[in-house]
Copies of this chain bind each other. A is one copy, B any other.
């Protein structure tokens, strides 16, 4: 587990690391300010922990004693740091709250059980006692999934931090599966597996600060999901502690004995119970990795290449296509840090003459596997791409991305320090609706920001990449950067969020491809699942957790 004191309680990552801008940092911020229509950037630091307002704990000494009896006195925390750290996740709304110093609800106690049995005892105890239980792994939810809410009538909120459950228990080398405790962080999981020659291959952007249980609970996707699959694909079996008692799901390669209950666990976001352990599919560590870049003249051409590669079933680990604005942003941002030399400028100019200029789109192709497969797939993907108008940039573009693939989340804190909002939205949609949805969401975000600007000069950067592709469609991931409307940050965000999510739904997309529902997406659940679907999910919840002890208020509205 990671010592909570080593982590930013109100931002991303380790206290001692940050987003490195190098010695040209002032030029980078000047470029950002220009792009957003700012003359200067304000100084808006986060409230320090000592100024944070925390409600008096609702649970008194007898309750705390009972918790201590279940997990040991040293594993029940009620200090300010632990309560603040576990109050919320890492969504933009969460950061607004924690940086403002007004946390709203925080857990009354944080417990760190050390075994699955202790988790079960805690869940059963809290269920009997009318206390809400919030499962918390890395706490990296960006949809309000770990917020310390309770239901009317519940006496208090206990956040159940799973990170003491951090071990790989067994590897089945013959079946290529591993049994792992749910609170393990990404790096520790991969270190342990790779020592034995295996990998799960699940590398979300939050990899360093998220846990196996969270990936499963929120149906997470790693950057190489093309090869390794989303959580619901690599999940073989799970163990949960539920108010109805311990639950171990089936673990067959496939079955026709009714619905596969693992598919209820993936996406359950803690509302059916706490995931304590999982069996997952693993792979041998790939002998070869090949990441490289290509330019397309526009997003439509690039998307067609991605679709063709997937529909020709060529084995790839990653295809990531940035749209024009994102390609421009990445190059300008990195250009402000490291101004391109004469040769690079000339090369770009030459590409521009050939039509790969304004609006060009960067496609990153990642291949992983045995040498023969990577070689063969490299030849075939390149042939498809060049046939469809892509131009090869070589491995450096791919390797540059690979080296910085977990860096983006670090960018948000320094942006917020300067009054700049960074928010992301993602969806997935079938190919035949993809471009319509893309345009609709772009328009919705721009319109909402135009109606809710920081001031008359404010400009927004709205960019998108296509990733996590499938034979029948792909995910679109939007990033927006805009000056905050001071004093009305929440309203501004709500306007954008509503407009963009409505546009996603109207365009035939899902409200989330891999972030989950939490509280933020719950209002759209019925539009996506339908009345019957919501009734089914509510029925599931009632079967296992009739008192709404587990993560109340998440996923299901109301």
For A372, the chain B residues whose CB sits under 8 A away are 380
Q: Are A539 and B537 in contact (CB under 8 A)?
A: no
Does A548 touch B at the CB level, under 8 Å?
no
Contact segment of A94-102, A185-193, A254-262: A254-262
Q: Are A253 and B529 in contact (CB under 8 A)?
A: no
For A532, the chain B residues whose CB sits under 8 A away are 242, 244-247, 544
Q: Are A256 and B471 in contact (CB under 8 A)?
A: no
Q: Are A256 and B515 in contact (CB under 8 A)?
A: yes
Distance (whole angstroms) from the CB of A285 to the closest CB of chain B: 13
Q: Are A253 and B474 in contact (CB under 8 A)?
A: yes
Partner of A250 from the list B230, B311, B369, B528 (CB cut-off 8 Å) is: B528
For A470, the chain B residues whose CB sits under 8 A away are 253-254
| 18 contacts across the A-B interface (CB closer than 8 A) | A172-B431, A172-B432, A176-B472, A219-B254, A219-B256, A221-B254, A242-B532, A244-B535, A247-B532, A249-B530, A250-B510, A252-B510, A256-B514, A258-B267, A258-B537, A315-B315, A536-B544, A540-B543
- Nearest B residue to A218 via CB reads B256
For A536, the chain B residues whose CB sits under 8 A away are 261, 264, 540, 543-544
Distance (whole angstroms) from the CB of A46 to the closest CB of chain B: 29
Given A247-B530, A263-B263, A281-B471: A428 touches B313 (CB 8 Å cut-off): no
In chain A, positions 466-521 with a C-beta closer than 8 Å to chain B are 468-475, 509-517, 521
For A269, the chain B residues whose CB sits under 8 A away are 258
Given A257-B511, A515-B256: A245 touches B432 (CB 8 Å cut-off): no
Interface residues of A, CB < 8 Å — how many?
91
In chain A, positions 68-83 with a C-beta closer than 8 Å to chain B are none
A232, A254, A517, A525: most-surrounded residue (chain B CB, <10 A) = A254
Does A533 touch B at the CB level, under 8 Å?
yes
For A220, the chain B residues whose CB sits under 8 A away are 256
Distance (whole angstroms) from the CB of A481 to the closest CB of chain B: 23
20 more contacts with CB within 8 A, not counting A372-B380, A540-B540, are A172-B430, A174-B430, A174-B432, A177-B430, A230-B254, A253-B428, A255-B510, A255-B511, A255-B512, A257-B521, A258-B269, A258-B517, A258-B555, A259-B263, A260-B267, A261-B533, A312-B370, A376-B376, A532-B544, A536-B540
Q: Are A431 and B174 in contact (CB under 8 A)?
A: yes
Q: Are A533 and B232 in contact (CB under 8 A)?
A: no
Q: Are B431 and A175 in contact (CB under 8 A)?
A: yes
Q: Are B218 and A513 in contact (CB under 8 A)?
A: no
- Nearest B residue to A172 via CB reads B432
Tell me, in angstroms, the Cα distance from A388 to B473 when the chains sit together. Answer: 39
Q: Are B230 and A513 in contact (CB under 8 A)?
A: no
Distance (whole angstroms) from the CB of A231 to the closest CB of chain B: 9
A219, A473, A521, A524: most-surrounded residue (chain B CB, <10 A) = A473
Does A416 touch B at the CB level, under 8 Å?
no
Contact with B along A161-189 (1 / 0, CB 8 A): 00000000000101111000000000000
Tell me, in angstroms, the Cα distance from A142 to B556 when the chains sit together. Answer: 38
Contact with B along A182-210 (1 / 0, CB 8 A): 00000000000000000000000000000
Distance (whole angstroms) from the CB of A336 to the closest CB of chain B: 34
Distance (whole angstroms) from the CB of A426 to the closest CB of chain B: 9
Contact with B along A137-166 (1 / 0, CB 8 A): 000000000000000000000000000000
For A313, the chain B residues whose CB sits under 8 A away are 315, 369, 373
Given A175-B430, A539-B543: A258 touches B529 (CB 8 Å cut-off): yes
- Nearest B residue to A256 via CB reads B219
Tell me, in angstroms, the Cα distance from A264 to B260 when the chains sit together. Answer: 8
Does A268 touch B at the CB level, under 8 Å?
yes
Partner of A537 from the list B176, B259, B525 (CB cut-off 8 Å) is: B259
Does A132 touch B at the CB level, under 8 Å?
no
Tell me, in angstroms, the Cα distance from A376 to B251 when the chains sit together. Answer: 33
Contact with B along A443-462 (1 / 0, CB 8 A): 00000000000000000000
The 3 A-B pairs with the shortest beta carbon distances in the complex, nearest first, are A539-B543, A253-B473, A247-B532
Tell me, in angstroms, the Cα distance from A174 to B307 when the chains sit together. Answer: 9
Does A266 touch B at the CB level, under 8 Å?
yes
Given A174-B432, A372-B380: A529 touches B256 (CB 8 Å cut-off): no
Partner of A430 from the list B253, B259, B267, B512 (CB cut-off 8 Å) is: B253
In chain A, positions 331-359 with a C-beta closer than 8 Å to chain B are none
Q: Are B539 and A249 in contact (CB under 8 A)?
A: no
Partner of A257 from the list B468, B525, B543 (CB cut-off 8 Å) is: B525
Does A288 touch B at the CB level, under 8 Å?
no
Tell me, in angstroms, the Cα distance from A174 to B257 when the chains sit together. Answer: 33
Tell me, in angstroms, the Cα distance from A221 to B256 when the chains sit together. Answer: 9
Does A531 touch B at the CB level, under 8 Å?
yes
Does A538 touch B at the CB level, under 8 Å?
yes
Does A236 touch B at the CB level, under 8 Å?
yes
- Nearest B residue to A273 via CB reads B532
A259, A266, A307, A538: most-surrounded residue (chain B CB, <10 A) = A259
Does A27 touch B at the CB level, under 8 Å?
no
Does A429 touch B at the CB level, under 8 Å?
yes
Does A38 touch B at the CB level, under 8 Å?
no
Tell me, in angstroms, the Cα distance from A69 to B175 when the chains sit together. Answer: 56
Given A252-B509, A430-B177, A432-B174: A258 touches B525 (CB 8 Å cut-off): yes
